[in-house]
């Protein structure tokens, strides 16, 4: 964790003025701040997100790496008009209205943010899809009580692939209120 702690206090994260309809609390803003810091740390040139909704996390990653190729995928199951808001928030992103369950393979990518289906089977399938093709995978809502499906999916994916998991939990008081995140870092097991 020392590298993250080095980053966080001096983080230059600036969300800017909330846009009309923006609605998130301190724990969500802290999540965006950590995602931003991770994105700066890993310096990806290509970024993929599963689960975009209104594009909050997409924007945090874009702020960190404005020149990176940014792709977001969402099936619109939460809101069918997700892409209108997400596109307005991050015009540079390439957005795809797709269901991750229908993807059999992804292109190699530097950095993936997994935040789509939160059930165990959904999250595990997403992780097994991206881990062989990604340098680093960040998983949202890694919390045993609030999102056990995500928690156990990360454990299982790590067990299957042998990839190391770095946990960033709400106990890490340096960050403040936080909803939990896992960083799966390592050489893709399929390479
Ligand atoms: C928690 S929200 C994402 C929040 C977003 N990352 C943010 O920063 O606000 C989860 C999103 O995943 C999408 N989703 C759920 N299951 C999916 C699937 N199988 N394929 C693609 N998108 C999916 C939902 O439509 C929803 O917009």
Q: Considering the entire predicted model, what is its pTM?
A: 0.92
Between strands 109-114 and 46-50, the pairing is parallel
Reported as type and span, the H/E element at residue 44 is none
Residue-level pLDDT at 8: 56
Residue with the bigger pLDDT between 88 and 173: it is 88
Task: Locate the ligand 1 atom nearest the alpha carbon of residue 60 and give its number.
Answer: 8
Residue-level pLDDT at 56: 94
Task: Locate the ligand 1 atom nearest the alpha carbon of residue 78 and give its number.
Answer: 25
Give the confidence band of 175 by pLDDT, cuts at 50, 70, 90. Answer: low
Give the confidence band of 10 by pLDDT, cuts at 50, 70, 90. Answer: very low
Given a cut of 70, whether residue 7 has pLDDT beyond it is: no
120: CA distance to ligand 1 center in Å?
14
| pLDDT tens profile 97-151 | 999 999 999 999 999 999 999 999 999 999 999 999 999 999 999 988 889 999 9
Sheet with strand 69-74: strands edge to edge = 94-97, 69-74, 46-50, 109-114, 134-140, 181-185, 164-168
Residue-level pLDDT at 188: 56
**Atom 23 (ligand 1): residue with closest C-alpha?**
116
> Other CB atoms closer than 10 Å to residue 155's CB: what's the count?
16
Give the confidence band of 180 by pLDDT, cuts at 50, 70, 90. Answer: confident
Given a cut of 80, whether residue 171 has pLDDT beyond it is: no
Please say whether the beta carbons of 109 and 102 come within 8 A.
Answer: no
The residues, any chain, with a CB within 8 Å of residue 126's CB and separated by 6 or more, are 50, 100, 114, 116, 117
Task: Give exposure, 82-95, as e/b (b: 16+ Cβ within 10 Å).
Answer: bbebbbebbeebeb
Q: Any idea what the Cα angle at residue 137 is, between residues 51 and 59, rounded to 5°? A: 50
Given a cut of 50, whether residue 9 has pLDDT beyond it is: no
| pLDDT tens profile 58-93 | 999 999 999 999 999 999 999 888 899 999 999 999
| pLDDT tens profile 14-66 | 888 877 777 777 778 888 888 998 899 899 999 999 999 999 999 999 999 99
Q: Which domains does the chain have, with CATH numbers?
A: 24-185 (3.40.50.150)
Mutate to test the pocket of ligand 1, among 74, 89, 102, 122 (most ligand atoms within 8 A of CB): 74
Alpha-carbon distance of 139 to 131, in angstroms, equals: 11
DSSP-derived 3-state class of residue 46? strand
Mean pLDDT along residues 1-12: 55
Between strands 181-185 and 164-168, the pairing is antiparallel
Judge if the beta carbon of residue 53 lies within 6 A of ligand 1.
yes
Residue with the bigger pLDDT between 147 and 178: it is 147
Mutate to test the pocket of ligand 1, among 75, 89, 128 (most ligand atoms within 8 A of CB): 75
């Amino acid at each position: 964790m020392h590298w993250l702690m080095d980053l966080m206090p001096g983080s230059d994260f600036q969300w800017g003025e909330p846009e009309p309809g923006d609605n998130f609390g301190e724990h969500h803003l802290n999540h965006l701040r950590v995602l931003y810091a991770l994105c700066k740390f890993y310096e990806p040139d290509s970024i993929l997100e599963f689960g975009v909704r209104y594009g909050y996390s997409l924007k945090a990653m874009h702020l960190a790496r404005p020149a990176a190729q940014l792709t977001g995928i969402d099936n619109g199951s939460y809101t069918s008009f997700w892409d209108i808001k997400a596109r307005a928030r991050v015009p540079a992103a390439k957005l795809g209205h797709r269901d991750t369950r229908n993807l059999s393979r992804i292109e190699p990518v530097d950095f993936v943010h997994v935040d789509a289906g939160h059930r165990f089977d959904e999250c595990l399938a997403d992780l097994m899809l991206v881990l062989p093709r990604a340098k680093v995978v960040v998983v949202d809502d890694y919390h045993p009580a609030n999102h056990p499906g995500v928690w156990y999916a990360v454990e299982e994916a790590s067990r299957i692939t042998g990839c190391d998991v770095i946990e960033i939990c709400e106990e890490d008081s340096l960050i403040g209120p936080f909803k939990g995140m896992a960083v799966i870092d390592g050489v893709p097991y399929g390479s």
